[in-house]
Amino acid sequence: MARIVGVLLALLLGAAACTSSPAHRSTSSPPPSSTAPSPAPTGISYADLCGSGGGCPTGGVPASLRRPLHPPQIGAGGCPVTQPVREVSAEFGPAQGPGPIYPTDVDAHGVLTFIWPPPPGSVAPPGWGGQKVLWLGAPTYTGPVLIRGVRLDGDSPVAFQLGGGNPALPEMQFPPRPPQNVSATGWRNWPSATLLKAPGCYAWQIDGSTFSIVVIFKAEIHQ
């Protein structure tokens, strides 16, 4: 009898250990956030990149990419820019961050210089200063891309422009491959400008089907 009780106790303890073990969490899951996902801006779609007759798919990024923004908290006076900044393809200049989607046109220290105030005849939308940023997409990822921006040390807005003279956009949406802007080695690339109104510490949040990353940069006024 004592042996039977011992066996039953061992089985019960084993079952409890199994049910109390934490579930496995994928390291590729986006970071948790208490902020609700932002709604899709009215009228923003893939067509902003391709224009009329550009061969873009209809519509825009799937709702699953519209994850909550998860910028880090930073201390006063600090700006922990994302490293490394290095060459990821011989076809393009140095790129920032872990990828697979990378911004270029920052310097080796993660600084993006922009012109402010905008000079007469500027191609930036009225009231905005800006700097060109070429975005690169590694051949290992061919899905849709959503890019948004936020200031980390203040409340100045961030916007984007796809082509000089075009309006300011609250975000950028890039379609899956194809249809266009693919290099000889399979790197997708999208010319754009990041639009700002003040120097400071900023972040781009880049969301794809399998990732959500934040790339921090410092914006300085071009002297």
Averaged pLDDT for residues 59-87: 94
| Measured CA angle at 39 (ends 60, 216), to 5 deg | 85
DSSP class of residue 104? B
Q: Helix, strand, or coil here: 171?
A: coil
Return the pLDDT at 48. Answer: 87
Return the pLDDT at 27. Answer: 31
Averaged pLDDT for residues 69-79: 91
Q: Helix, strand, or coil here: 127?
A: coil
Kindly report, residue by residue over 95-108, the tens digit of the pLDDT.
999 999 999 999 99
State the pairing for strand pair 172-174/135-137: unpaired
In this predicted structure, the answer to whether residue 187 has a pLDDT above a threshold of 80 is: yes
Return the pLDDT at 4. Answer: 37
Kindly report, residue by residue over 106-134, the tens digit of the pLDDT.
999 999 999 888 888 888 899 999 999 99
Cβ atoms of residues 190 and 135 within 8 Å? yes
Cβ atoms of residues 80 and 48 within 8 Å? no
**Residue-range domain boundaries for the chain:** 37-62+78-221
Contacts of 202 (CB under 8 A, 6+ apart): 112, 149, 150, 151, 152, 158, 196, 216, 217, 218, 219
Return the pLDDT at 54. Answer: 63
In this predicted structure, the answer to whether residue 21 has a pLDDT above a threshold of 70 is: no
Averaged pLDDT for residues 34-44: 64
Return the pLDDT at 199. Answer: 96
Give the C-alpha distances (Å, rounded to integers) separating 143 from 61, 134, 138, 139, 211. Answer: 10, 18, 11, 10, 11
Please report, in angstroms and rounded to a whole number, the separation of the first and last CA atoms in the chain: 88
DSSP class of residue 179? S
User: Please, is 17 exposed, middle or buried when counting C-beta atoms within 10 Å of its C-beta (0-12, 13-18, 19+)?
Assistant: exposed
